[in-house]
């Protein structure tokens, strides 16, 4: 047990050390983390009345972020798959960073579940053998199950790799490789089940079609790599770990293909629904042009579509796609566009109009916005800790016996200095 304890202690010591920039970043995130806790307090004392949710629209900003972050978690497979299936050397060197992102994203999903349910005690109904866990009847229960397994797979795989690197041992491939292959397949399952959770509701025509899982997966494999590229650029500038251009170039190509398919599916849905418009297309019509004078989400749709189209053109242009200064702009546009398209632009219009024809609007309150920003801050706080420790181990700055050796060197230096007197 000495090595695992030493690993935990050395990892913790390393992530707590940093310069002014590191502490400023963590302090900045800490402020928003405190705001999130205050938001939780308000919701638990006053109820969901502090949000813009209603009986007609009972899933809003929280659930939109939940759906989107499941895709970000699944997007980590765009690193793992090329590294272990196609033996891409540059990707293999940074695979563990993708697993750390997946862990953080799933934790953020859980936090948004807490916020969405209003009261923590309701979570008991999502726990087997404790509350009412309706499996296999409830698609939400399936979603909780696959996300929990995905979190465990990435946690074991990521930290096992770091532990072996820390101790200087060799990977047990009979244990590790099946874990990796299962996690690759499981990454597809988490977003597929999340899509099923919406697509299996026949009363919501905007969601009720078989292309929903495919649309979810392609947007996940575009948004996830966008965030990964931005993180890689930050790591390059602020740490000694150099991430090869080949890894970023491959991720850019993946984004180009997946973003193109996402746009194709979105525009296909627009043509099919609006060419022979029926009452089933009212949700999409409201999103694009407004309905009965209500137009709050119209700018979101057109802004999202414009951002995705501009990003797609930028990714199609090799001189931009390989330019380290312009590539982050394309990533931000694609990431933001997909967030709107798969979150607010897909979730909320599914409720408008309601199955009985009511047309009401939803817009998040200040509490929802602040709590959402706070939960993203908690996620990035966790991600920063995980990435910092992983980078330290990859660079060899955190390894087993290093502290003892440095103490021995220091003590021998003091002894030599004393004897020289």
> Residue range 153-175: average pLDDT?
91
Residue linked to tokens 């404790």: 130
- Kindly state the DSSP code that residue 242 receives in the 8-state scheme: P
**Is residue 77 packed enough to be buried (19+ CB in 10 Å), middle (13-18) or exposed (0-12)?**
buried
Cα 45 to its chain centre, rounded Å, is: 29
Four-CA torsion 91, 226, 73, 22, nearest 10 degrees: 90
User: Who's near 355: CB < 8 A, 6+ residues apart?
Assistant: 203, 204
Here the tokens at position 106 are: 């799933």
Residue 375 has pLDDT above 90, yes or no: yes
| Chain mean pLDDT for the chain | 86
Size of the chain in residues: 421
Residue 191 has pLDDT above 80, yes or no: yes
Q: Which pTM was predicted?
A: 0.89
Measure the CA–CA gap between 54 and 83, rounded to whole angstroms.
46
Residue-wise pLDDT for 321-366, tens only, equals 999 899 999 999 999 999 998 877 888 888 888 887 788 888 889 9
**Residue predicted with more confidence, 400 or 413:** 400
> Residue range 195-217: average pLDDT?
86
Residue-wise pLDDT for 13-40, tens only, equals 999 888 899 999 999 999 999 999 998 8
Nearest to 141 by CA among 153, 150, 132: 132
For the chain, domains (ranges, CATH) are 7-223+231-399 (1.20.1630.10)
Residue 202 has pLDDT above 90, yes or no: no
Q: What is the pLDDT of residue 28?
A: 95
In this structure, of 103-107, 236-240, 408-412, the range with the lowest mean pLDDT score is: 408-412
Nearest to 9 by CA among 408, 403, 378: 403
């Amino acid at each position: 047990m000495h090595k695992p304890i030493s690993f935990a202690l050395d990892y913790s010591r390393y992530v707590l050390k940093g310069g002014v920039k590191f502490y400023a970043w963590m302090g900045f995130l800490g402020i928003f983390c405190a705001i999130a806790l205050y938001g939780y307090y308000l919701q638990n004392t006053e109820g969901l009345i502090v949000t813009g949710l209603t009986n007609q629209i009972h899933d809003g900003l929280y659930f939109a972020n939940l759906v989107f972050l499941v895709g970000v978690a699944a997007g980590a497979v765009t690193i793992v798959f090329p590294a272990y299936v196609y033996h891409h050397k540059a990707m293999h060197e940074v695979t563990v960073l993708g697993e750390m992102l997946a862990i953080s994203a799933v934790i953020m999903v859980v936090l948004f579940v807490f916020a969405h349910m209003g009261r923590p005690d309701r979570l008991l109904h999502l726990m087997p053998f404790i509350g009412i866990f309706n499996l296999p009847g409830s698609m939400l229960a399936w979603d909780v199950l696959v996300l929990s397994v995905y979190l465990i797979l990435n946690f074991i795989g990521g930290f096992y790799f770091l532990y072996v690197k820390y101790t200087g041992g060799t990977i047990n491939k009979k244990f590790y490789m099946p874990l990796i292959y299962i996690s690759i397949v499981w990454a597809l399952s988490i977003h597929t089940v999340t899509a099923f959770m919406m697509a299996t509701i026949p009363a919501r025509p905007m969601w009720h079609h078989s292309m929903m899982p495919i649309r979810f997966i392609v947007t996940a494999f575009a948004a996830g790599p966008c965030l990964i590229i931005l993180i890689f650029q930050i790591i390059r500038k602020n740490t000694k770990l150099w991430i090869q251009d080949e890894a970023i170039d491959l991720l850019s190509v993946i984004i180009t293909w997946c973003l193109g398919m996402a746009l194709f599916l979105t525009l296909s849905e627009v043509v099919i629904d609006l060419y022979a418009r029926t009452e089933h297309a009212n949700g999409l019509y409201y999103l694009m042009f407004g309905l009965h004078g209500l137009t709050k989400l119209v700018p979101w749709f057109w802004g999202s579509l414009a951002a995705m189209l501009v990003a797609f053109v930028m990714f199609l242009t090799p001189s931009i796609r390989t330019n380290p200064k312009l590539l982050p702009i394309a990533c931000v546009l694609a990431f933001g566009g997909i967030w709107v398209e798969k979150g607010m632009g897909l979730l909320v219009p599914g409720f408008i109009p309601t199955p009985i024809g009511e047309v009401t609007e939803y817009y998040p309150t200040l509490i929802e916005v602040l709590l959402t920003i706070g939960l993203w801050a908690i996620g990035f706080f966790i991600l920063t800790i995980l990435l910092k420790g992983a980078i330290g181990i990859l660079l060899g700055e955190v390894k087993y016996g290093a502290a003892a050796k440095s103490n021995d060197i220091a003590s021998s230096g003091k002894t030599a200095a004393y004897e020289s007197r």
